[in-house]
Structure 1
Amino acid sequence: MRIWILRHGQAEPTATRDAERALTDVGRAEAIRMAEQLAGHSLDVILASPYRRAQQTAELIRRELNFRRGVTTVDWLTPEDDPMAVLDQLADRAEDELLLVSHQPLVGQLISLLVDGHRQGHYSMPTAGLACLDMPLPAAGAADLLSLTNPADATGNS
């Protein structure tokens, strides 16, 4: 299983509710740049947090990649969700290549759980940071981190 973990692009600093914060122009540009990193990969599904900024990021990626299916919204990819619960959800998935669009602190903790076997590792995930992991099965400590890219140094396909 290959999992791509993408943090949403830069968002407005405030909104009525955190879940309603929208992408800024910079955030939209970041998402488009990171879509270039995914070009040529055979994504089976795009899973995204229900928060507006994650939905917008996922939709930009979907459009840039000409991904025919829609974005699937899941309620287990919000900022404060438990990475272990995400791991349980991933264990129920049959796809070979998934893109998860989510938030900090979840994305950093999830990478740590999958690669290091615990949630305490530090993986820098700026806005629109993208990690690529390969694993034989979704289990703590079972993944290999293949790449960790941020939009500032993203050039061409990975």
Structure 2
Amino acid sequence: MKLWILRHGKAQAMAASDPQRALTERGCADVLHMAELLRDQQLDGILASPYLRAQQTAGLVGEHLNFARGVATAPWLTPDDDPMQVINYLSERTEQSLLLVSHQPLVSQLVSLLVEGHRRGHYPMPTAALACLEMDVVAAGLAQLLSLNTPKDS
């Protein structure tokens, strides 16, 4: 499986609640910039956190890529969810290429757990950062990090 992990774009500092924080103009621009890295990928699915900024990020990527299947909402992709729960879910999937859109600290912990087998690895994931991992079996410590890009890098 090829797994793409995208942190949402830059969001407003304040909203009625954290889940309701929307993307800023800069956040939208950064997301579209990073979506170009997915242009030639054959995604089987896009899964996003239910938080507004993640839904907006996934929607922008889907539109940019003309992804006809739409975005599925995954309630286990919120900031403080357990990355092991994500791995357990992914281990039962049959898709060959998925994009997950989520938040810190989950995205860094998930990359670390998949690549190193623990959550303590340092994988900087600023807003709109995009990691690509590949693995034959979805399990802790079995993934290879193919790339980690940020809007400033690309």
> TM-score band, normalised by the shorter chain?
over 0.9
Q: Runs ≥4 in structure 1, deviation > 6 angstroms? A: none
**By how many angstroms is 1:92 displaced?**
1.3
Tell me, yes or no, if structure 1 residue 3 matches structure 2 residue 3. yes
Cross-structure match for 2:13:
13
Tell me, yes or no, if structure 1 residue 63 matches structure 2 residue 63. yes
Tell me, yes or no, if structure 1 residue 138 matches structure 2 residue 135. no
CA distance, structure 2, for counterparts of residue 153 and residue 140 of structure 1: 27
Tell me, yes or no, if structure 1 residue 74 matches structure 2 residue 80. no
CA distance, structure 1, for counterparts of residue 115 and residue 146 of structure 2: 10
Cross-structure match for 2:51:
51
Higher mean C-alpha displacement, 86-95 vs 99-108: 86-95
Residue 53 of structure 1 aligns to a residue whose secondary structure is helix
Tell me, which stretches of 5 or more residues in structure 2 are unaligned? Answer: none
After superposition, the C-alpha distances for 1:83-106 in whole angstroms (9 at most, x for unaligned) are 001100101111000000000000
**2:21 is matched by which residue type in structure 1?**
R
- Aligned pairs for 1:1-158 (under 5 A) are 1-154=1-154
After superposition, the C-alpha distances for 1:53-78 in whole angstroms (9 at most, x for unaligned) are 00000000000001111100010100
**By how many angstroms is 1:144 displaced?**
0.2
**By how many angstroms is 1:153 displaced?**
1.7
CA distance, structure 2, for counterparts of residue 27 and residue 21 of structure 1: 12
Report the TM-score when normalising by structure 2. Answer: 0.99
CA distance, structure 1, for counterparts of residue 109 and residue 37 of structure 2: 22
**By how many angstroms is 1:116 displaced?**
0.3
**By how many angstroms is 1:14 displaced?**
1.1
Tell me, which stretches of 5 or more residues in structure 1 are unaligned? Answer: none
CA distance, structure 1, for counterparts of residue 49 and residue 75 of structure 2: 6
Note the aligned Cα RMSD (angstroms).
0.4
**2:98 is matched by which residue type in structure 1?**
L
Residue 153 of structure 1 aligns to a residue whose secondary structure is coil
**By how many angstroms is 1:152 displaced?**
1.1
CA distance, structure 2, for counterparts of residue 138 and residue 58 of structure 1: 22
CA distance, structure 2, for counterparts of residue 108 and residue 96 of structure 1: 22
Residue 140 of structure 1 aligns to a residue whose secondary structure is coil
